[in-house]
Amino acid sequence: MASRIIVQRRFVPLAPHAGGSSLSRLLGMAGIEQPPQIWLGSRLLLAISVALAALLLPPIVVYVSNSDIGFGVPGELNFTFMIGYMVLSALAGFALVLALVYLHLYYIIHDRTRRVEEVLPDFLLMVAAQMHAGLTPFAAFNAAARPEFGPLEKEVKTIAARSVGTETFTDALLQLADHIDSPVLRRTISFFENGLRSGGKLANLLETAAEEIRDLEELRKETVLNTRTYTIFLIFILIGGLPLLLAISTEFLAIFSKMQAEINTDSVKMMGSMLAPSLNLSPAFVNQMASVIIVGTALLVAIFVGVISEGKVLFGLKYWPPLAIVSYLVYLGVKTFLHEFLGVFM
């Protein structure tokens, strides 16, 4: 309760400018009943806390590791650069928390939409059966609200409660599309609303809509199955092929650089330079670039998986960290094995 009061006093005046109606709409689509001011304030409070912790991270890393990360070592610190690093670290922490909060809300909305679209054909067929039995559209919708329909049941009961009050059933039905981010549901509601206004055969219309939704879902699943081979192939290259090639390259460069460093005499140096010119790349730099290549490739593969599976770029970002971590661990494992194996012959 105390934290809630603090959040209200601190962030409620800022909430209309920071979130406004867009935030309320997103929270409604996610099924979150918490007031937007409290929701936004608690997330901002978390982001500020992380930013303050990240502010102290650069000097802590320097003193713990006793190394230079850009502004000197303990005892010889450049305080101007250190303050700059601290500010950048705090801004990065603040932005990271806000990005994760948005992605979490995005995934909740997507999961809720997917759950509604999966049960929507069954719900429409049940409404049509109730109307064939002689019930009115309002009574049929209310009777078809079952617990197995998940979020759809809650929204239908909300519509029924509003229809009993001051709003008409048509107006309350239109608000259903504002609480569930589903184009399929919006089209179905539009068809049903036009049928209500024109007095058409609503039960037949709902049955036809349910069949079309099922056909579209089957077509989507078939498309995902047809492209799954490409997805598996890309993931195999990322986890198996790319780390193997990078590990072989970096280990070969390290061995080659070590052999060149052991050349002492001028005649051997001249012959060595004729047979194999000296390299300007250091093994440490190549290791860093290998890490960057693995992380970047994992990001592209994750985006591709998200587009193929759900048709959305942001949906694939949740696969980025595990793919990057597994690929990097494979790279370290292969590199360690090659180092130990070749060290026996060297």
Give the Cα separation of 233 and 92 in Å (integer).
Answer: 34
> Greatest CA separation found in the chain?
103
| Tens digit of each residue's pLDDT (9 = 90 or more) over 224-236 | 788 788 888 888 8
Of 31-35, 44-48, 305-309, the range with the highest mean pLDDT is: 44-48
Q: Note whether 105 and 123 are same-domain residues.
A: no
Same domain, 77 and 167: no
Structure-model confidence comparison of residues 220 and 297, the more confident one = 297
| Residue 180 three-state SS | coil
Q: Write down which residue in 42, 77, 110 finishes a domain.
A: 110
Among residues 217, 237, 262, the one where a domain terminates is 217
pTM greater than the 0.85 cutoff: no
Q: What sign has the CA pseudo-torsion 189, 149, 131, 219? A: positive
Number of domains in the chain: 3
Per-residue pLDDT of 267-301, as tens digits, reads: 444 554 544 555 566 777 788 888 899 999 999 99
pLDDT grade for 5, boundaries at 50, 70 and 90: very low
Residue 168, domain CATH: 1.20.81
Of 55, 155, 58, 69, the closest CA to residue 112 belongs to 155
Q: CB 198: neighbour CB atoms within 10 A?
A: 8
Cα–Cα distance for residue pair 337/284, rounded to 1 Å: 18
Residues 229 and 339 in one domain: yes
Distance, C-alpha 273 to centroid of its chain: 50
Length of the chain in residues, anyone?
346
Do 97 and 121 belong to one domain? no
What would the pLDDT profile of 314-345 be if each residue is shown by its tens digit? 888 888 899 999 999 999 998 888 878 776 66
Single out the residue in 58, 82, 110 at which a domain terminates: 110
DSSP 43-92: HHHHHHHHHHHHHTHHHHHHHHHTS-SSS--TTS--HHHHHHHHHHHHHH
207 lies in the same domain as 226: no
- 82 — pLDDT class (breaks 50, 70, 90): confident
Helix axes 79-132, 20-30, angle to 10 degrees: 60
Same domain, 8 and 66: yes
Residues 225 and 335 in one domain: yes
Alpha-carbon distances, residue 70 vs 61, 63, 74, 84, 153 (angstroms)? 11, 13, 12, 10, 57
Joined together, the tokens standing for residue 12 give 């409620």
DSSP 240: I
| Same domain for 16 and 31 | yes
Alpha-carbon distance of 262 to 130, in angstroms, equals 87
pLDDT tens-place string over residues 68-78: 777 677 777 77
pLDDT category at 3 given cuts 50, 70, 90 is very low
Structure token digits, residue 9: 């006093």
**Together in a domain, 172 and 249:** no
Query: What is the average pLDDT score of the chain?
Result: 79
User: Do 189 and 177 belong together in one domain?
Assistant: yes
Query: In this structure, are 212 and 223 located in the same domain?
Result: no
Domain span holding position 316: 218-345
With beta carbons less than 8 A apart as the criterion, state whether 309 and 114 touch: no
Residues 121, 105 share a domain: no
Helix, strand, or coil here: 35? coil
Nearest Cα to 311, choosing from 249, 250, 224?
224
**Other Cβ atoms closer than 10 A to 55:** 19
**In the chain, alpha helices (H):** 2-11, 15-18, 20-30, 36-55, 57-65, 79-132, 137-144, 151-164, 169-174, 176-179, 183-198, 202-236, 242-261, 266-275, 283-310, 320-345
